[in-house]
Amino acid sequence: TIYMPNAFSPNGKNKIFKPVGVFIDIQGYDLSIVDRWGQLLFESNDPDVGWDGKGKSGKLAEEGIYVYLLTYTSSKGEYFQKRGTVTLLR
């Protein structure tokens, strides 16, 4: 089971955006964050590494809504894909 938060604040209590769940096969895991223009800001293949609200250049991303794409393989070998939005609050 995977839960995706719908908002986070790098300066607040929820400093990192990442899925919350169990039974993920690390080999099939990929989390990508893109801005409203489709530019890739963040990508990780490690479930323990989440987005800290910065772009690839290291600059802070603006407050707003971003799109995530999560793909993973369950412990039973089932492939899943989740898409949605996350709000970045400053």
pLDDT tens digits, 16-44: 999 987 655 677 899 999 999 999 999 99
Helix/strand number for the chain, H first, E second: 0, 7
Pairing of strands 79-88, 7-8: parallel
Separation of alpha carbons 28 and 14, rounded Å: 25
Lowest mean pLDDT: which of 4-18, 22-36, 61-75? 22-36
Residue 10 confidence class, pLDDT cut points 50, 70, 90:
very high
Predicted TM-score (pTM) of the model is 0.89
Paired tokens of 81? 């894909």
pLDDT value, residue 6:
94
Give the largest CA-CA distance in the chain: 39
Given a contact cutoff of 8 angstroms between Cβ atoms, the answer to whether 83 and 74 are in contact is: no
First to last CA, the chain: 29
**In the predicted structure, residue 78 carries a pLDDT above the cut 90:** no
Measured in whole angstroms, the distance separating CA 73 from the mean position of its chain's CA atoms is 16
pLDDT value, residue 24:
58
pLDDT value, residue 25:
65
